[in-house]
A and B are shown apart, each in its own frame.
Chain A
């Protein structure tokens, strides 16, 4: 018998004690384990920030990825990046969820005999691919999106080395037509860059410049700067939107021309002609190309009056800097190249300073994909390697891609997470999530963003280039020749030359852009009306969803959860029709219709609205996934059930423009009532603000009047309410008195509120606090893009409640955006329970986006009614919430006039329970909890929560100030999450007690008003009224 040595004995004792303890309690034991070897750069509790690049869309904005204890928890814009300058959109903010997606593959998978994917090892997986390729290397094809220039080079190297059949680049929204048009008009193969900086007239031909356009974050910033009313008292830039529906961009435009979709090219040419007629000058080649334009024919084709075209033409001729933006994918017809060329031509008429062109490497071409499908059908593809794309979803089903996959010997998916294409693949070689990867992206010529990993891979995944090189290595022979040494990381680092570290810290590399040779002497463009197939009554507008994009966003619960900025629908699809159409077809909100085109049909609930042409039915892209925890209804216990509809399936296979690019405006649709009803997951049922003090608008004239009054000495006009303490004068104009309520420290309701709550009068008082946190929101800049909502969710660990809860309007968002069509009037509408009286009018762009969140009222109605002081006023003017103290009477929420308090009806915490009542109740399926912000408590069942003005950031800044020996927190040291990301810079946060702080100055604006000020809640948030600049003057 072996001797029992002491060490073994101790082990045995330990094991027995451990099992005894484990048997004694069934609760899951969690351990707090300190670092044994602490990484040098990590101090627990302090964030480490890495510069990287966003991969959610081709713009490739610069990121700062904030990590805590080795895990990314938040992304923010890289302030130094030339494109986004520190700002991000909702999609980028949500991109953190891609890393922690429950859909992610945990290891390579192979389809077994039963047709199910089963995990295998990398060695096995690589040998399966190698063997398949070895059989017929020439029949090996690579199909995929844009993986960045370096990875692209590796893939090309792979295809060449193995002697493969080729590589097809495929992106659903690839701007192929614009590239071809640039070749025609500028003689350069590349995508132009539009610069709105300092522009005074912007004409958007449906590019959706502020939401899904060429560079939305950058353009929103430039647009907002160009029309900043403080800098441009006469209004600054005016935006004209041309398109069939009142989109996000249209809502922020000064003039909306509801033109027929597809008529953009004709209209652009007519405008160019009108501008030339009005005295604009241009190159001979341009003048010659425009000469043939017929204004009245264009007016007839586009449904825009001749006078309007002439007025705009004159305005264009007068404008100091005008920019025209070419049509986006929604209106990309079979004649898209002509339309794009016409708009580029218009830019050359009005002065091309705002459009710069440079040769950029060619990307996707839809026609090539169609050719590949044919090859597949013909059995010419033995191995298909799919990366960075989900063609099964995003190609129209009429293209036959899904069926063609069956003829391919082996389909290999390099997807990070489960998607429709992986579901049909024979082998999955999972790639790292972008935040685990090395790589690069090109924003535009001369700006190359770098991607560096911010956490070690959480699963057994590999970078695509590394996997491909592995395959080459295992193939041996010629294929293995000239293999780069080291991993893809080395490739990236090698590409950065000497200053690797500096480049990575900066996050991007800027290089000189080669000057473009002179423009062509003769411009030949062919502009015509779109070719629509089918004999339906409605033009089908398949427009890109601002959040879901080409469908990649659908996998992220946050992007599903944020309501569409225009319709407020979340987690679902809808079809927009006009009120007149709804009446004609006897449809109400939520009635399900069948939409049929020549390529297919689908059933979808309608959303009748005033802001859409009568002859158009518009359905956003992105939904209709059948695979994915959140993208489909799998997370709701309905695996394989599609969420919403995929409008791309209504498009024909041959929707190709002149240059082989993909066309989306190709079909007319028949719409018929099915008799079924589907309650849409709406979050706002009413866009009539009934004239209440919520989304105010001032005309330029009224503003000028106020400004005059403002300038005059106004001491005598100061009311009793504003004592002598307030130095700055505030207006005496009638309007100023009506809406302007500046902050007055001598009359700060917060003091009294604080003292009443804590009975501290005479003691350490709120009056002595150096801070009174406050915020301003400039409605003149808010586009409703919802980046703030996205940032707030991520920063504050706000649960995503899912479709069923959203249907009950139980979303937990701390910030929402109220959208008002016009000022509204107090009509007493009587109608069906869920009927929605759209106040929108065709051609009227008066839409007010009013972000609504806790106003941190000085005289907060929520505070006195809480029986347990779970909500209280702190000495810095913040309205606090003590989650542990809350018993859930919900009285505070009833008494909040802004309705910004959110209640946890279920347990949404980590490990929240799934149950029949609350399917997918744990809204944080693993590994999503890894992305939680450790600085913010997760809230349990039965407690109230709301905006805290990112109090954790205030506390962090307070500590930093203390560490630096500063007496007070400097202005700008605290940026709330919403403010930080706002692309148009609409939000200012800071200390109202500091007269020099940015927020004090902003709050003193003549446009300032408090929401629902008649209730005398004395909010800490000042809204700055939107400015009505009027239509464009000729």
Chain B
């Protein structure tokens, strides 16, 4: 391993602190990365086996046609929400506290979307024909069905992936230039190419700020639309437990909730290990946890409203589906969901816990679990108890689905771990901007 180049004379301590994350590789890091890669390899092998053998190696039974793959897909799409929300919406609202976390959140968005997108291919029965879903011109005059929510999904996810990658990349350019300046060899070449000739001139800054602003404007509706569209995969159907008008806001809130929780789950260890306490501090945690509390209430309200509407509708099939959701064979997933997502986050009413990092870590992990179960509850329990009681069924994921599920975490972790070593986890330029801003405030400048 080459020793890192010495900091350039006069380099800012922000550069040093943040880029120290990228320096050196500990055995712990390697072990973690190794574990991630292994799980990805295992999942990949399972997937190849599944393609060869058929989806029958999963736990699907009649009539549960969607299983753990779709659950995990929705889970990752949800995770993908925090990044854009933090970068775009909070940017537009000029929420300063976002700066410390926006880079990693954006990275998570990109990685989560990439992870989620794979599940579309994993889930379909004939992935080798999955390009049929794209409206490409062909001699046979075949066209896609624009009435299908899955078609909307295809566009929503691909648009979201494109925008979030572009957004991530544009935000990264000034930092890439810093990296270019302090790296050498092959790395320098790559960073030079990626930095697109960034010099930090005022014209460039002007263009950069404008693009970020415009992209934020573009990305903002996407934050709302992507998960709305994903929710319509369910809401547009007639399955009791799916067919509900509340699904779009419910899913968006849930996505933000889970996204924030994932950001916290990932960033807390990173902060601790790499000593970034100065940059991600109580101020950020308080704001993040307040957001969690808010979204927890939104999803809690949605849970309540679902039951209320099921009762109020007078539709026996809906009522039965919801009753069995809570007290049927899948009661454990429902109660896990409610406890993790609604009960536990209430701890953040107390300032003491909002700033107590270990508590935040534990609670955010619970929220991640709870949000996976939320999708499990919505997707699986609804399918097990539909209109024709003769074909009520049960579903249990098999080893194949669990391996691929674990592999998705491995994939996400692998990308994030590599990201940590190749890109600054906190936006250096934005932190500097903030520091200058703060200094100006301290000096009594004000706006």
Contact = CB atoms under 8 A, between A and B. Distances in A.
A943 to B, nearest CB: 7
B383 A888 contact: no
A868 B145 contact: yes
Interface in B275-320: 315-317, 319-320
Contact of A943 (B125, B145, B319, B323): B125
A867 B144 contact: yes
Interface stretch (B104-112, B214-222, B233-241): B233-241
Interface string B141-152: 011110111110
Residue from B124, B125, B144, B150 with most neighbouring chain A CB atoms (10 Å):
B125
Interface string A803-819: 00100111100001011
B389 A888 contact: no
Interface in B395-420: none
B61 interface: yes
Interface in A881-897: 885-891, 893-895, 897
Interface string B45-86: 000010001111111111101100000000000000000000
A689 B63 contact: no
15 contacts: A756-B147, A808-B61, A808-B62, A809-B62, A865-B150, A866-B145, A867-B144, A868-B133, A886-B125, A893-B65, A907-B54, A941-B125, A942-B55, A942-B125, A942-B126
Interface residues on B, range: 35 or more
A684 B390 contact: yes
Contacts of A372: none
B123 A889 contact: yes
Contacts of A756: 147
Given A865-B150, A867-B133, A888-B124, A941 B54 contact: yes
B386 interface: yes
Contacts of B386: 897, 899
Interface string A896-939: 01110011111100000101011000000000000000000000
Interface stretch (B158-166, B324-332, B370-378, B424-432): B324-332
A867 B132 CA distance: 9
Contact of A902 (B62, B126, B145, B317): B62
Contacts of B205: none
A722 interface: no
Interface residues on A, range: 35 or more
B144 A869 contact: yes
B237 A865 contact: yes
B393 interface: yes
A691 interface: yes
A917 B55 CA distance: 10
Nearest to A913: B53
B47 to A, nearest CB: 14
B144 A690 contact: no
A687 to B, nearest CB: 8
A905 B125 CA distance: 8
A826 B53 CA distance: 40
B145 A869 contact: yes
A686 interface: yes
B11 interface: no
Given A826-B316, A833-B394, A891 B148 contact: yes
B324 A888 contact: no
A956 interface: no
Nearest to B145: A869
A235 interface: no
B150 A810 contact: no
B129 A894 contact: no
A835 B150 CA distance: 35
Contacts of B147: 756, 864-865
A944 B316 CA distance: 29
Given A689-B390, A828-B324, A899-B386, 4 more contacts: A867-B148, A887-B133, A888-B125, A894-B383
A692 B389 contact: yes
B238 A885 contact: no
B125 A887 contact: yes
A886 B53 contact: no
A830 B327 contact: yes
Contact of B145 (A828, A864, A888): A864
A810 B60 contact: yes
Nearest to B143: A869
A867 B154 contact: yes
Contact of A885 (B59, B61, B132): B132
Nearest to A801: B56
A347 interface: no
B146 to A, nearest CB: 9
Contacts of A917: 49, 53-54, 56-57
A834 interface: yes
A694 interface: yes
Contacts of B209: none
A868 B132 contact: yes
A867 B328 CA distance: 33
3 smallest beta-carbon distances between A and B, as pairs: A888-B125, A942-B125, A905-B56
A786 to B, nearest CB: 14
A861 interface: yes
B311 to A, nearest CB: 12
B328 A830 contact: yes
Contacts of B53: 906, 913, 915, 917-918
A866 B388 contact: no
Given A828-B327, A869-B145, A943-B125, A684 B391 contact: yes
Contact of B62 (A690, A811, A895): A811
Given A867-B144, A898-B388, A690 B316 contact: yes
B392 interface: yes
A580 to B, nearest CB: 24
A895 B237 contact: yes
A685 B388 contact: no
A887 B388 contact: no
A301 interface: no
B148 A887 contact: no
B169 interface: no
A861 B148 CA distance: 11
B353 interface: no
A757 B146 CA distance: 9
B56 A894 contact: no
Contacts of A1015: 238, 387
B204 to A, nearest CB: 43
Nearest to A869: B145
Contact of B389 (A689, A898, A913, A941): A689
B388 A899 contact: yes
A409 B141 CA distance: 73
A643 to B, nearest CB: 21
B150 A891 contact: yes
B199 interface: no
A894 B145 contact: no
A852 interface: yes
Contacts of A894: 63, 65-66, 237, 239, 383
Given A867-B148, A899-B63, A904 B54 contact: yes
Contacts of B390: 684, 686-687, 689, 694, 816, 818-820, 852
Interface string A845-883: 000000010000000010011111100000000000000
Contacts of A891: 65, 148-150, 233, 237
Contacts of A691: 316
Nearest to A695: B390
Nearest to B65: A890
A888 B132 CA distance: 11
Given A869-B143, A894-B66, A688 B126 contact: no
Interface string A999-1020: 0000000000000101100000
A50 to B, nearest CB: 37
A897 B387 CA distance: 6
B207 interface: no
A818 B388 CA distance: 9
Contacts of B315: 1014
A866 B320 contact: no
A696 to B, nearest CB: 14
